[in-house]
Amino acid sequence: MSGSPTPAARVGRAVRVTGPLIEADGVPDVAMGEIVRMGAEGISAEVVGVDGARATMQAYEYTGGLRVGDPAAGTGQPLTGLFGPGLLGHAFDGLMRPLSSAPLWLRPDRPGDDAEGTRERRWTFVPAVAVGDTVGEGDVLGTVPTTGAVEHRVLTPAGCAGTVERIAAGEVGDLDAVARVSGRDVHLSERWPIRRPRPVRERLTDPVPLHTGQRVLDLFFPVARGAAAAVTGGFGTGKTMLLQQVAKWCDADVIVYVGCGERGNEMADVLDDLGRLVDARTGGRLVDRTVVVANTSNMPMMARELSIYTGVGIAEYFRDMGHDAVVIADSTSRWAEALREFANRRGDLPAEEGFPADLASELAAFYERAGRVTTLGGQEASVTVIGAVSPPGGDMSEPVTTISQRFVRAMWMLDRDLAYARHYPAVHWSGSFARDAAGLARWQTVHGDPEWAQRRARALEVLAEADRLESLAEVIGVSSLPGRERVVVLGGRLLREGVLAQNALHPNDATCADAKGAALLDLVLDVIDACHAAIARGVSATALERVDMGPVIRAAQDGGPEDATAIAATRERMLDAIRRVS
């Protein structure tokens, strides 16, 4: 992450240093968004305010030792990332410096980096075009094998098209030119301003589901490829666990996991799990199609904001190659807290709960980077953004939560009571929503499951009615309810324990295919129907409650994650058992 070399004439002096807030005088022609190098170590700071000859900057590195009078050297360039081979399977900080693990901390791996943050590596380039070929924007010029579990494609950059005048083959370096197109050199790695969205040909609006492997999401609150989703819940409700499950089992090509202000031990666990987990899609390690951007709570505060945009920029880079990418940001609340602290240091007028007035604009700029698109090269690809929200004290009315709801297409609200009852994922059916459910129902109908919407609506209706009746039963007792309503309470329990709850540690239940999830939901709904039919023919609710429903609750762990045949056998046994009740 860097700017361009600094002309000696563009050097001013620091006049104020307050944590990540730096003010400097005398940098000529300084511009908003420009990177300025501070002090002898060249600390990266971005200009966020200009008042005459004075520039206000936010530093992305530790400012200890920086003093008034230290040089402030303008680079003339915005915050820029170097995107190229070697991203997959590795962890970086917000400045895209590689991270190595220490016994207690994750730390930036500075040795071996040059002044521009470039790592000297050699790669094998396999050309896909020949001299004299005509190429357009986004066309594939060649590939770089052995860079991860997905194909790394070198593309003709935006604004470049014409005749291939030169093409490399064999071993090349990170910054080497691999082709020359109409007088313009195309390098193996590309610098791009991370705050600027990468261009596409067209944004696509028809929803296509992202399969997460988590039944409560795929069956009830699905997210479309290229959409944005938020996971919200108080401390201890399992946000990080749910996000890790999505990262492990969703059917995206590339996962970008951004640890923004979270605990260092959680990020170390993420890295360890990804390194050990076998990828069901490729047979290799899951980490080989994952990029981790870590800015833990002990790292510089303002780099939290930087890590968010770095993660989205990396995802867009792989999207342009034609891959489906998922960005998981844990958590946007820590990012918002960093924005609040810096705004307070600047003396900005605070808005609700002390957050800056532009918090909504910042969240919108992040979530709107999501999208399913036609790339410049004509391929369909997507960036899906999933952000965690950690409201203090579980207060769902606080600003980050309420503002996030405006910009996301799905909200997965985690419930403290469910989590404390060891119901995971603790996604509550009454507070969550999926705005693309109707469009995804049409997709399911076209692709062989016309009952998807009806099944989902009926199950949500049973859950809502069961919640109401359980509140009533706490006052008058379950035995005082009519038989039909006691069956509804029983059905709600079967849905919660047999379908919505999922065991992340069980090999047959850690992930669930769509067909198996549909079969489980059909099993529970058919059992509920059979119980209602028994009540109609005069069977008592007490007799039905004595029927062993254990096979229904354990059905999810029968057979493999994609095996629905065992569920069909359980369905027949349970329906027969209910019919025999007298």
**pLDDT tens per residue, range 226-245:** 999 999 999 889 998 999 89
Whether the predicted pLDDT of 85 surpasses 50: yes
Cα angle: 358, vertex 364, 365; to 5 degrees: 90
pLDDT of residue 120: 66
pLDDT of residue 43: 92
Higher-scoring residue by pLDDT: 79, 5:
79
Task: Please return the burial class of 417, using the count of CB atoms within 10 Å of its CB with bins 0-12, 13-18 and 19+.
Answer: exposed
Cα separations (Å) of 452 from 49, 114, 212, 228, 463? 52, 55, 16, 22, 17
Q: Which residue has the tokens 């919640």?
A: 467
The residue-averaged pLDDT of 415-427 equals 95
Q: Could you say which DSSP state residue 435 is in? A: T
Whether the predicted pLDDT of 203 surpasses 50: yes
Whether the predicted pLDDT of 148 surpasses 50: yes
The residue-averaged pLDDT of 76-103 equals 84
In DSSP terms, 37 is beta-bridged to 44, 73
Q: What is the pLDDT of residues 440-482, one digit of tens each?
A: 999 999 999 999 999 999 999 999 999 999 999 999 998 899 9
The residue-averaged pLDDT of 404-431 equals 96
Q: What is the pLDDT of residues 184-201, one digit of tens each?
A: 999 999 999 999 999 999
Give the pairing of strands 254-260 and 324-330. Answer: parallel
Whether the predicted pLDDT of 503 surpasses 90: yes
pLDDT of residue 112: 34
Q: Are 277 and 248 in contact (CB under 8 A)?
A: yes
Higher-scoring residue by pLDDT: 180, 6:
180
- The Cα 468–Cα 489 span in angstroms is 9
Pair of tokens at residue 478: 């379950």
Whether the predicted pLDDT of 6 surpasses 60: no
The H helix count followed by the E strand count for the chain is 15, 30
H/E stretch holding 104 reads none
- The Cα 15–Cα 25 span in angstroms is 7
Whether the predicted pLDDT of 97 surpasses 90: no
Q: Are 277 and 269 in contact (CB under 8 A)?
A: no
Spatial CA neighbour of 519 closest among 533, 499, 538: 499
> In which band, very low, low, confident or very high, does the pLDDT at 271 lie, cut at 50, 70 and 90?
confident
The residue-averaged pLDDT of 398-414 equals 97
pLDDT of residue 114: 38
Whether the predicted pLDDT of 10 surpasses 90: no
Q: What is the pLDDT of residues 510-525, one digit of tens each?
A: 999 999 999 999 999 9
Whether the predicted pLDDT of 552 surpasses 70: yes
> In which band, very low, low, confident or very high, does the pLDDT at 339 lie, cut at 50, 70 and 90?
very high
How many other C-beta atoms are found inside a 10 Å radius of the C-beta of residue 206?
Answer: 9
| 3-state SS class at 25 | strand
pLDDT of residue 420: 93
Whether the predicted pLDDT of 111 surpasses 70: no
pLDDT of residue 1: 62
pLDDT of residue 149: 82
pLDDT of residue 107: 46
Q: What is the mean pLDDT of the chain?
A: 91
Whether the predicted pLDDT of 93 surpasses 70: yes
Whether the predicted pLDDT of 176 surpasses 80: yes
Helix, strand, coil abundance in the chain, percent, nearest 5: 35, 25, 40
- The Cα 389–Cα 404 span in angstroms is 8
Higher-scoring residue by pLDDT: 550, 6:
550
Sequential DSSP letters for 262-316? --HHHHHHHHHHHHHSBPTTTSSBGGGGEEEEEE-TTS-TTHHHHHHHHHHHHHH
Whether the predicted pLDDT of 404 surpasses 90: yes
pLDDT of residue 559: 87
Whether the predicted pLDDT of 101 surpasses 80: no
- pTM of the complete model: 0.92
Whether the predicted pLDDT of 7 surpasses 80: no
Higher-scoring residue by pLDDT: 277, 385:
385
pLDDT of residue 104: 37
